[in-house]
Amino acid sequence: MWTDGIVQPAPPIKRALSEVVDKLKSTRGVQVIEWQPFKQNDALEILKRLYGPDGGKAFIENLALSGEPILPLPAWTVRDQPGIEALDIEGLWDWTRKRDQFRYSYLKEWNTAAPNMDVILCPAYPMPAPVHGTSRYWGYTSLWNLLDYPAITFPVTRVDPEKDGQDPGYIPQNDSDRWCYDKYDVRKQTGAPVSLQLVARKSKDAELLQAAEKIQREIGLPFVDCLA
């Protein structure tokens, strides 16, 4: 999955995906299938309600007891993004029902569109390791929380200033896309680890680990030393 259809991955993420896919295509026993994002907007609408069904009240009140300030990411997640609301019991039931319906429809799409696909390879985040205070979009990981699918994140490469400059042809798709694009800074993030993730269906944890080990072994991940 090259994109979730909401926020476009930054250049180093696109490069990492391309490099991994190119190697997988020439690996014996591996078939690469193009997986399209499925109802990502619906997923995000459900997530923002169920992550903070009280409108973030309990989180804010407990944080206040510590005297610590709230950081940008949790502030956005439970308080500031449009659509956050305190749900009554009927509202909670309604959004939980929508979650279960979404889980069913996503699994049905997987089983119909790509029944032989074992795992999904996709970005773990639209940017490489971000500068402090510039992390906001959670769609590439929270989707699998919503679906209750196991996922594993792994390093691939590092940001290269010669290869990973801003795309001159970039056109923002929405406010979230523009926000992430503006927060990517190839100079500040040069050398930052670039990671991807692998996802499997619910309860397929063992198969997911086997697939990750095979990919790592067959194509030699990570392509550079991401720990140095």
pLDDT tens profile 189-218: 999 999 999 999 999 999 999 999 999 999
- Give residue 167's pLDDT: 85
- CA 132, chain centre distance (Å): 18
Phi/psi at 176 (nearest 5 deg)? -65, -40
% pLDDT > 90, the chain? 84
- CA 142, chain centre distance (Å): 7
Query: pLDDT tens for residues 99-122?
Result: 999 999 999 999 999 999 999 999
Query: pLDDT tens for residues 129-162?
Result: 888 888 889 999 999 999 999 999 999 999 999 9
The answer to whether the peptide bond before residue 222 is cis (omega within 30 degrees of 0) is yes
Helix (H) or strand (E) segment spanning residue 25: helix 11-25
- CA 43, chain centre distance (Å): 12
pLDDT confidence bin for 21, thresholds 50/70/90:
very high
Task: Of 12, 11, 14, 19, give the one whose Cα is nearest residue 2.
Answer: 14
pLDDT confidence bin for 78, thresholds 50/70/90:
confident
Q: Is 128 a residue whose pLDDT tops 80?
A: yes
